[in-house]
Structure 1
């Protein structure tokens, strides 16, 4: 990357417990052009472009990367994202059928409730990060109980308190040893086709029955 600094792509960071080679293969099966870098025991990932390659409304790169299910063998996966001015901390924990959990902080408010998203507790966050020190959870909690500052400030502070790498990727979108990964065209086309088919199914169901269409699990 030769020291190039990305601008205008927003701020986000995934930390994945897999080698860069494995993470690169995973990213090529996704929807987002990404920048990744080896960061010790982790591989860091951020977005390389503002928009994902998929069609709207699934085309906001940061949102797509933040919500993407991680490979089971690469977990725990930690996420640090500035989404719409809010700081989102995410965890995809090791183990089967464990949903992604979220902790969301808003300037002027502090931690906000996310009824539709499983809540991420501080002990789980600290444990997944492998943070050392008896007071780490207390210190992170102190930051999140505060109301001052902006989302990126909170993300950088929490990242540091957890002893995790990747600040340059989070803030600048670049760091030493970083490389870009392009998503495969075939996967993007398949995703767009699937979403279009689901949208058509919902529209047809609502026109015929006057109510929301059942989800995938209800139709199987």
Structure 2
């Protein structure tokens, strides 16, 4: 599918206040909206990535970005054309992100070489009761569902706010503010990624 007709959107929910989240985004390369929500701070891509190829896809770059321990647990719901990708950033200093992919007709899969996010991981990150795991499994095992409905239903089952942000409806959200990366952060990212094959490999998996 040509880039111009692609459907890519998403929301990342963090356990960090607006000030901390804003500072974190300024040190990245993706202009993003910060939206205060009940118990969470949401981040929604708000413009093209300011990095060069292959890091010019704002949604993929935000999806792949590591979340600092002080802002976890965190959980993100993203649409990459016909695939839904959920990323879970567990609490813990050394905890690694976990990933889950859902595609209509195929159902659940993971990303090669990366830890799989299980329903229990999602429930723990969201802070909901273990009983919600059953609902999550039922949503994920229904292979004929519409992708947008799957992502919205998962957020609902996890009692997470910000469902309408999934489709990019953010400008009118209460308290939403666009945060731009600093020039120094973009330049630093460009220098580092010239030689960092790990970051490139992770992005190519998405």
Task: State the distance in 2 between where 1:56 and 1:107 align.
Answer: 29
- Please report how far the alpha carbon of residue 148 of structure 1 lies from its aligned counterpart in structure 2 after TM superposition: 1.5
Matches within 5 A, 1:1-220: 10-49=8-47, 51-132=48-129, 134=131, 136-174=132-170, 175-196=173-194, 198=195
Work out the CA distance in 2 between the residues paired with 1:126 and 1:166: 16
Counterparts of 2:110 and 2:22 in 1: how far apart (Å)?
A: 34
CA RMSD of aligned residues (A): 1.9
1-structure distance, mates of 2:43, 2:56: 18
| In 2, Cα distance between equivalents of 1:145 and 1:9 | 23
Q: Distance in 2 between matches of 1:10 and 1:33?
A: 15
Give the SS at the match of 1:11: strand
Displacement, 1:191? 1.2
Q: Which runs of 5+ in 2 are unaligned?
A: 1-5, 198-206
Is this contact kept in 2: 1:9–1:47, CA < 8 A? no
Shift of 1:133: 6.5
Cα distance in structure 2, aligned partners of 1:183 and 1:150? 34
- CA distance in 1 between counterparts of 2:178 and 2:10 reads 15
Unaligned runs of 5+ in 1: 1-7, 203-220
**Aligned-partner Cα distance in 2 for 1:108–1:194:** 39
Match of 1:214 in 2: none
- Please report how far the alpha carbon of residue 111 of structure 1 lies from its aligned counterpart in structure 2 after TM superposition: 0.3
In the aligned structure 2, how far is the partner of 1:133 from the partner of 1:124?
10
